[in-house]
Each structure stands twice: as C-alpha cells, then as structure tokens.
Homo-oligomer: A and B are copies of this chain.
Amino acid sequence: MELLEERIRRDGRVMDGDILKVDCFLNHQIDVGFLDELAAEFHRRFGSLGVNKILTIEASGIAIGSAVARAFGAPLLFAKKTQSLNIGGEVYSSRVASYTTKRDYDVYVSRRFLGEGDRVLIIDDFIANGCALDALTDLCRQAGAVAVGAGIVIEKAYQGGANRSRAAGLRVESLACITSMDSETGSLEFAPDAAS
C-alpha cells in the first residue's frame, strides 16, 4: 500500500537490533485518521468473507484493531497479556515468544467472547517471526472459531513468520512488506505490492 510505504519512509526509523520504529503514527503515538485509511484497505481486502469479529493482541494491536472493527461494523476482541482480576477464570490461553521483549508470555481471551460460529479477522501492527499470530490463531482454534485471515500493517518478510502461516493455509495480507532493513544507513526495501 503506497500510502503506508511513503509514511514509513518519511517517519519510520530503522534502529539497531532490527527494530523499525513507527511509534510516531502506529504504536505509541497514534494517527487515528491514518489508521482509518489502513482499516479501509483491510476492509477492501477482507470485506467479503463474512467476518463478524476482529481479534488482536494488546497493546499495540488495539488502535489498528479498533479502526478495523469500525470499518467492519464488528466488535473488537483483544487478547490480554495478564490474566488480571478483571478477566476472570474462564479463558482460552496460548503462549507467545516475543521478539521485541525477548520474553515468553501467555495471552488470554474470555471464552464468552470467542466461539463456534465466529468468523474472525486477526489484526496486528507487525509480523516478524509470527509467534503472536500463531497464538491468536491457536485461540481461535481452541474456541472452535474460524480464522478467515490475518491483516498485518507491516510485515518483516525476511523473518518468515507470515510466509510460514501462509504455507499453513492462512490468508495473511500485509499492507507494507519489508524485505530488508539496514540500521547503519537507515535504508529499507519493500516488496512489490501485489494487491495494488
């Protein structure tokens, strides 16, 4: 998606440790109008699939998930990283190996909000090694819900997570697909945008 690639080139910063900082518009400070444009693109791509629920993961998925839920007229459900007092005991849980924090953690959703008959679109801000996506699809599987696809804002293609999920049969669409990054020069390359 050209609009997104331009924004990443303009405002993104390639940091040491294979980090792309897009915290000025996507996952710390949020440009909600821009996220609405991304959400419209996800709706264009997934809008015909009977989606009735958007599933994401806290914290950085919630803003884009919320915009996508609005575009679909569907509720957003976000997987929680802490099984707080507020979530109660009746949950599905799955394990995530985090790339950015280097720590494994569990995520939870209440059984009341995910179940058979749900047609779920998974949304997240990034995909790298794909562990968050694996956990979210696992939560759908446990609940008997159908994951009809995954919409990711930024794919780091060279880490392979998205292609691994595609090979397993999940429709994964990313709006910007990065094939290489160089923190010394600050440069990054995008894959050709097949969908535009």
A residues touching B (Cβ–Cβ < 8 Å)? Answer: 15, 17, 19, 21, 23-24, 27-33, 35-36, 58-59, 62-63, 66-67, 69-70, 73, 75-78, 80-82, 84-88, 100-101, 109-110, 112-113
Q: Is the CB of A15 within 8 A of B88?
A: yes
* Interface SS majority for chain A: mixed
Residues of B within 8 A of A28 (CB): 77-78, 80, 86-87, 109-110, 113
Query: What would be 30 A-B contacts, judged by CB atoms less than 8 Å apart?
Result: A15-B88, A19-B86, A21-B86, A21-B88, A23-B86, A23-B87, A28-B77, A28-B78, A28-B109, A28-B113, A29-B75, A29-B76, A29-B77, A29-B113, A30-B62, A30-B75, A30-B77, A32-B66, A32-B69, A33-B73, A36-B70, A58-B59, A59-B80, A59-B81, A62-B63, A63-B63, A63-B78, A66-B66, A84-B100, A85-B100
A59 touching B78 in the complex, CB below 8 Å, given contacts A28-B110, A36-B70, A113-B29? yes
Copies in the complex: 2
Task: Please name the residue on chain B nearest to A53 by beta carbon.
Answer: B29
Residues of B within 8 A of A21 (CB): 86, 88
Which of A76, A78, A86 has the most B CB atoms < 10 Å from its CB? A86
Q: Is the CB of B85 within 8 A of A32?
A: no
CA A109 – CA B78 in complex, angstroms? 22
